[in-house]
Chains A and B, each alone.
Chain A
Amino acid sequence: MMDNDTLDMLRTSLRHVLTEATNVPLADRLGELGWDEVVADDPVTALHTLFTLKGDTVSSADALGPRLAAALADALGDPQLTTATVGMESPFGPSSLTDGSLTVDAVVFTPPSDNPVVVRVDGEHLAVVVGSALTCTRLTTTDGELAQFRLTGTVPASQVQCIEGATASIAWSAMVTHGRWLLACELVGIAQHVTDSAAQYTGERIQYGKPIGTFQALQHRIATAHVLVVGAARLAEHAGHSGDEWSALVAKAVAGQAAETACTQAQQCYGAIGFTWEHEFHHYLRRTYVLDRLLGDWRSLEREIGNELMNSRHVPKIGML
C-alpha cells in the first residue's frame, strides 16, 4: 500500500503528465515515471489516482485503451493481447461474423496501426484481426478534443482469430468491469472538479452587490451535486478494491449520474459564461456526455441493475453493507 506522502507525490507528477502540452503518447510519459512499477505495487490506488485526475484535468490522453487491452489479455491469459486495441460499440452498427468473413464496425481512441484489434461479435464470440486490415477514420465527436476513430472493413475468415464460448464471454465481461471502474473514477474526477469550481465561482461572482453564492437557490444547487458526488466517489473507490462486476456496474451508473447532475447544476450557476470557450466548464460538460456513454450510459446501467434485482430476487451486497 502507498503511504500518504508517496500518494501526494504521485498525484503531483500525474497532474503534470496529464496537463503538459506534448505529442508524446501518454504511455511513454508514464513510462518515464516508472509507472509500471507503481501499478505493480498497488494497482488499485495507482489506477484510481490516474483516472480521477484525468477527469479532474479533462485530459484527452488515451489512458483507457491500454487498460482495456491489459484486462482482456489478463483474462484470456494471452500476453500478446496487451498491445491490442479493443473495439467499443459503434453508433453505426455491430460487427458481424459469417462463414466466410468478419465485418467490423467499432470505435477506438487510438488508431491501431498494425497491432491486433479485438471486437465483440456477440455474447459468445470475440474476433481478433490485425489493425492494418481495417479502415480507420477519425470521427467528428461531441467532445471534439477526445479523439475517437471508427474502424470498418471486411476481412476473410482465414485472417481472423476467433475466441468462443464461455472463455469469450468471461474475458469480455472482466474487461468491461475493469473499464467501468476506471470510467467511474474519471467521471467522479469530473464531477468533483465541476462542483468545486462552481462553488468557487459563486463565491467570487458579484451580482446585486454580493457574491451570488449568498443566494440559497444556488447554494442548494451545489449542495445537491455535492451529495451525489461524495456518494459516487465512495462507490468508485469500493469498486476498485472489490474488483467485482456488480460494484463496477453500480459505481459507473452513479458516477455518470453524478457528473451529469454536477454539470447541470454548475451550468445554471455560471450563467452565460458557461456557454462559451471563455470558461473551462464546456470541456467538462461535453466530456461527461461522451464518457457516460462508454460501456453503458447511466440510465441503461440503471435498467440493468433493476433487471438484475428483479431476476435474482436478492439484493447483492456492496462492501460492508
Chain B
Amino acid sequence: MDLSYSPEAEAYRAKVRAFLAANLPADWQGLGALAGDEAEEWADRWRDVMAKNGFLGITWPKEYGGQGLTKLEQVVLGEELARARVPQYRAVDTTNIKMLGNTLVKWGTEEQKQKYLPRILSGEDTWVQGYSEPEAGSDLASVHLKAELDGDEWVLNGQKIWTSRGMEGTAIFLLARTDKTAAKHRGITFMLCSIPTPGLEVRPIRTLTGVEEFCEVFLTDVRIPVANVVGPVNEGWKVANSLLGLERGEEAATNPIYFKAELERVIQLARDKGRINDPIIRDRLAWCHMKVEMMRFLGYRILTAVLRDGALGPEASISKLFWSEYHQVLADLAMELLGPEATVREGRRPYKHYRADEPGAANSSNSWIDVFLMNARSGTVYAGTSEIQRNILAENILGLPKEPQTNS
C-alpha cells in the first residue's frame, strides 16, 4: 500500500482546486441542497463547465478531446470533486463517459475514437448500457441477442432489459451473440447502435419508487454496420470485462468520501431526532464509522494495485461487497431514525439512483426513503450481485471447490 501521491499529481490537485474555487459559488453546499429540477439543470450546466475546462475524460489522448493524463490524476480529480461536493458529471455519464468512453479508448478503431469520443465529451451523444437480458442477468455470458451477418451489416433480433436511464440515451452499446456454436463466452460481440434506429424500440419500466429509470429495449431486424463492432468479433466478453478495472480504481478513492459525508448526515439526523444519546444508536453509528474507515483503507489498497499493475485483483469483489452491504445497514439506520416520518414523503428526492444522495441534501424523508428503497438495496444487485461476488472470492481467490451445480 502506497499512500503518497507524486509531485505531478499534487500539482494537478492544485490546478483542480483553483478551478473549483473560481467556478463554484462561495456558499456552495452541494447538489443535494437544490430542489429536484434545479439539481438536474445545475448538473447539466456544471457538466458543460467541466467539459469546456478540460476536466472530462482527462486520461484520454489529447487528439480525441482528452488531456493525456494518468489514472493517478483521474483519482486526484475524483477526490477533489467529492471533497468540493460537486458531481463529476451527470448521472447518465456513468455509462457514457466512464463505461463506453473508456472502452473505446482501449478497444476502439481510429475511426471510432475520432467519431465518438469528442461527441461523448461534448454531451452530444449519451450512451446507455445494453448488457442484461430477461434470461441473462447474473449469467451475462449467456446473452441471446441474435446477430447475423448480412453483407456489411449485422442484423439484430432480441431484447435487452434494465437499461438505466434508457429514455435519455441517444445511443446504446450492446452485447450480441454472433457465434451460437462457440462456448458461451466466446461467441459474443460488442456493438454500437444509435437511437433512434429502425426496428429498435425503447420502453420505460416503472421502478418501485415510482420513477421511470429502467428501460427495456426491443430489437427487430435492426441493422448495424460492421464498422460499429468494438474489438474483435466474438471477443466482446473480453471487451466488456476490461471495463471493470477502469471503473473500480477511481471509485475506490471516491466512495469513502461520499459515504463519510452521508454518515455525517445520519449523525445529524440522530441529533435532530433527540436520539444521539441512545446507546444503541451510538453503537450503530460507531459501527458505520468503522466501516467507512475500513473502506478508505481498502480503497487505498485497490488504488495502489491499479496504479502499479494497471489491473484489478480480488480487491474488486471485496470492495463491491463491502460498500454495498455497508450502505444497506446505513440506510436502515436512517429509516429507523426517521420513525413515523418514514411513512410520509416530504422534501426532494435524490438526484441519482445509486449510492449516497448528493452532499448538502436535507434529512428529508424523501431523500432517505428513495436511498433506502432503491439506491442502497439495488447496490447488492447491479454490477455483480453479492452472491456472485462471494462465489468469486470463495472459488477463485480462496480456492474452495466449485459449487457442484455451476457450469460457468
Contacts and interface: CB of A to CB of B under 8 A. Distances in A.
B406 A208 contact: yes
A154 B208 CA distance: 37
Contacts of B341: 91
Contact of B382 (A89, A272, A290, A299): A272
Contacts of A210: 405
Contact of A286 (B208, B365, B403): B208
Given A140-B345, A142-B369, A290-B343, A276 B206 contact: yes
A208 B139 contact: yes
B335 interface: yes
B339 A297 contact: yes
A173 B138 CA distance: 50
A12 interface: no
B407 interface: yes
A3 interface: no
A207 B139 contact: yes
A125 interface: no
B207 A277 contact: yes
Interface stretch (B62-70, B243-251, B262-270, B370-378): B370-378
Interface residues of B, number: 45
B210 A144 contact: yes
A208 B407 contact: yes
Nearest to B403: A215
Nearest to B388: A217
Q: Which of B214, B340, B374, B391 gathers most chain A CB within 10 Å?
A: B340
A139 interface: yes
Contacts of A217: 387, 390-391
A49 B280 CA distance: 36
A148 interface: yes
Interface size on A, as a range, is 35 or more
A91 B380 contact: no
Given A275-B381, A277-B207, A293 B373 contact: no
A13 interface: no
Given A91-B341, A293-B342, A276 B208 contact: yes
A212 B403 CA distance: 12
Interface in A59-84: none
Contacts of A15: none
Interface in A126-141: 139-141
B344 A276 contact: no
Nearest to A268: B380
Contacts of B391: 217
A286 B373 contact: yes
A208 B139 CA distance: 6
Contacts of A276: 205-208, 214
Interface string B383-407: 0011100110000000000010111
B137 interface: yes
B345 A275 contact: no
B339 A91 contact: yes
A275 B374 contact: yes
A218 to B, nearest CB: 7
B387 A293 contact: no
Contact of A272 (B132, B210, B340): B132
A200 interface: no
Interface in A265-285: 267-268, 271-272, 274-278, 282, 285
A159 interface: no
B408 interface: yes
A217 to B, nearest CB: 4
Given A208-B408, A272-B382, A148 B137 contact: no
Nearest to B161: A272
Given A208-B139, A272-B162, A275-B374, A141 B343 contact: yes
B214 A271 contact: no
A303 B346 CA distance: 27
Q: Which of A89, A276, A300 gathers most chain B CB within 10 Å?
A: A276
Name the 10 nearest CB pairs between A and B, nearest first: A282-B208, A91-B341, A277-B206, A91-B340, A207-B139, A217-B387, A140-B345, A272-B162, A208-B139, A214-B405
29 contacts: A91-B340, A91-B341, A91-B343, A140-B344, A140-B346, A141-B343, A142-B345, A144-B210, A148-B343, A207-B138, A208-B142, A208-B408, A209-B139, A210-B405, A218-B387, A264-B328, A267-B377, A268-B381, A271-B385, A272-B137, A277-B206, A277-B207, A282-B208, A289-B342, A293-B339, A293-B342, A297-B336, A299-B336, A303-B280
Interface of A: 89-91, 139-144, 148, 206-210, 212, 214-218, 264, 267-268, 271-272, 274-278, 282, 285-286, 289-290, 293, 297, 299-300, 303
